[in-house]
Amino acid sequence: MKQQISQWRVLGCVVLAAACSLAQTSVTTYRYDNSRTGQNTHETLLQSSVVNPTSFGKLFSQSVDGQLYAEPLYLDNLFVPGKGTHNVVYAADEHDSVYAFDADSNQGSDAQPLWQVSFINPAQGITTIPSSDVGTSMISPEIGITSTPVIDPNNRTLYVVAATKENGSYFQRLHALDLTTGAEKFGGPVVIQATVPGSGWGSVNGTISFDPLRENQRAALLLSDGVIYIAWASHGLESEDIYHGWVIGYEETTLQQTAAYSVSPNGKQGGIWQSGSGLSADQQGNVFFVSGNGTFDANQGGSDYGMSFVKLSTKDGMTVKDYFTPYDEATLSASDVDLGSGGPLLIPYQEDTDHPWLLTSAGKNGVIYLVDRTHMGHFNNKNNSQIVQSIVNAFNGHSLYATPAYWNGQVYFWANYDVLRIFGLNEGLLTTNPIATSSITFSAGATPVVSSNGSTDGILWALQTDAAGSSGPAVLHAFDANTAIERYNSSQSGSRDTAGPAIKFSVPTVVNGKVYVGTANQLDVYGLL
């Protein structure tokens, strides 16, 4: 009888292992997909019943040498030469380092990175860019890798943009790294350079040129149809007039530039920063972004799209295919009320509605915009009635520095000095008031993500980074994705679960039973205790 029980136990373990293996997934881009939905619907281990202070908490940390603004990325079952097969988490930091860590342990040989690469060499005069060189402390004390990289698991490559200062000159480069070793691929890296016709700020002989010092590469990278798309904005208010928004594409296996686009070629500004959110892309290869303060003259036949939702066609270079600009864009721009303080969420197809293809976002003005991305509406100088919906004062007078998430017919926003607000999406329209709100306020807001097992066990995860300016810890929170009732936070169990120092705009990665949190000096890993 004992032998039979033992056999059943062995069989049960085999079945469980197989089930876990089938449930595994990877995170290869910012917030899971090119629509930037923020939803992982394949999470079978972090069920609602076990995400609580008793069963869930901090498992371990890995030290890094710079601030982790970039969201951690993840690949399962990757063979690393000389080190066997691992689930791997990738972290990129402001000290221009990229790390590959075992995603499940920091014990034994896994205490060290599977590999680490650095893009600086101080002995040769190659360093990160000091924050003082750009005249702002928005990112301090150094600027290296700010944006979230992107991974192509098919060609086993991680793409990342790094900024350096080299003996007094400034560079930004696109690197293509082997996922298993960190080695450069495809003849990389390539120096990022571009010029486009224009008469705007900094123009010389009818062209404007990309400035590797002034341009801040904060928005996450996008991989769509074999092209890496990269976007730029400014470093902060101190340099608000001396930049342009840019989008530049590179073919992923040759690293050859495919096209370059400026948001304000005949004006100024129009940065694409989106609080770190990446450009979005649909299945037709169109690329979407939301720009910030800047020149707008598209309604008069011009080429400047400051303070706008923009759809780029990528079939023949990059050209504006459609756009929406709020009627009060001039007032917003003059007052530094960025529309593009968050990125566009492409909402999944909505059946039986007049507008099945939607996108939504909100900015510093606290207005939620719901736009038909097949007919975006252009500009109306009277009001915003040409779009599907706008909800004024959606966050009780507060500004959004974040990108919303989508799950199961619900859209999640978390503005500054506000609570989590869950809006329903019914018959192609958002509820004008939230269907649920949290009881907790974040002064810095948050870009949330949702994990679920299909349409059940929805958990919303958010990082509270209110202490980013004082070197206090980040706080990981988990909420019921339907009711906004809190299930867990990392300050509930004393020092057991304390995260590293907070970084603004940071986003947790939830995958295969664990949550990965980037901080100012370490990568923290949470899971079932």
DSSP 194-241: -EEE--STT-BTTEEE--TTT-B--SPPEEETTEEEEEEB-S-GGGTT
Distance CA 109, CA 487 (A): 34
Residues 74 and 510 sit within 8 Å (Cβ to Cβ): no
Residues 345 and 405 sit within 8 Å (Cβ to Cβ): yes
For the domain made up of 27-528, give the CATH fold.
Methanol Dehydrogenase; Chain A (2.140.10)
Q: What are the structure tokens assigned to 331, written together?
A: 């007032």
Q: What are the structure tokens assigned to 178, written together?
A: 């082997």
Amino acid at 423: F
Query: Cα angle at 139 between 526 and 416, to 5 degrees?
Result: 65
Residues 270 and 264 sit within 8 Å (Cβ to Cβ): yes
Neighbours of 10 (CB within 10 A): 10
Residues 47 and 527 sit within 8 Å (Cβ to Cβ): no
> Three-state DSSP class for 111?
helix
CA 149, 316, 205, 299 torsion-angle sign: negative
pTM: 0.95
Q: What are the structure tokens assigned to 516, written together?
A: 């990965």
Amino acid at 165: K
Residues 178 and 166 sit within 8 Å (Cβ to Cβ): no
Beta strand 246-251 pairing with 345-347: unpaired
Distance CA 163, CA 216 (A): 9
Q: Which residues pair with 172 in a beta bridge?
A: 163
Q: What is the pLDDT of residue 13?
A: 39
Distance CA 529, CA 508 (A): 18
Q: Which residues pair with 368 in a beta bridge?
A: 362, 391
Residues 30 and 506 sit within 8 Å (Cβ to Cβ): no
> Three-state DSSP class for 48?
coil
Beta strand 378-379 pairing with 319-325: parallel
Tell me the CA distances in angstroms from 197 to 242, 263, 299, 450, one per residue in order: 17, 12, 20, 42
Q: What are the structure tokens assigned to 285, written together?
A: 């290869």
Q: What is the pLDDT of residue 348?
A: 98
Alpha helices in 320-383 (DSSP H): 329-334
Amino acid at 154: N
Q: What is the pLDDT of residue 24?
A: 64
Torsion of the alpha carbons at 95, 512, 151 and 502, rounded to the nearest 10: -30
Q: What are the structure tokens assigned to 303, written together?
A: 């080429």
Residues 36 and 344 sit within 8 Å (Cβ to Cβ): yes
Q: Which residues pair with 422 in a beta bridge?
A: 412, 436
For 452, phi and psi rounded to 5 degrees? -160, 165
Tell me the average confidence (pLDDT) per consecutive run of 10 residues in the chain, 529 residues long: 39 37 77 98 97 98 98 98 98 98 98 98 98 93 98 98 98 98 98 98 96 97 98 78 94 98 97 98 96 97 98 94 98 94 97 97 98 98 98 98 98 98 97 98 98 98 97 98 98 97 97 98 98
Nearest to 90 by CA among 158, 9, 176: 158
Q: What is the pLDDT of residue 8?
A: 38
- The ranges assigned to domains in the chain are 27-528
CA 487, 491, 496, 499 torsion-angle sign: positive
Nearest to 37 by CA among 442, 344, 416, 431: 344
Distance CA 314, CA 285 (A): 7
Distance CA 321, CA 522 (A): 42
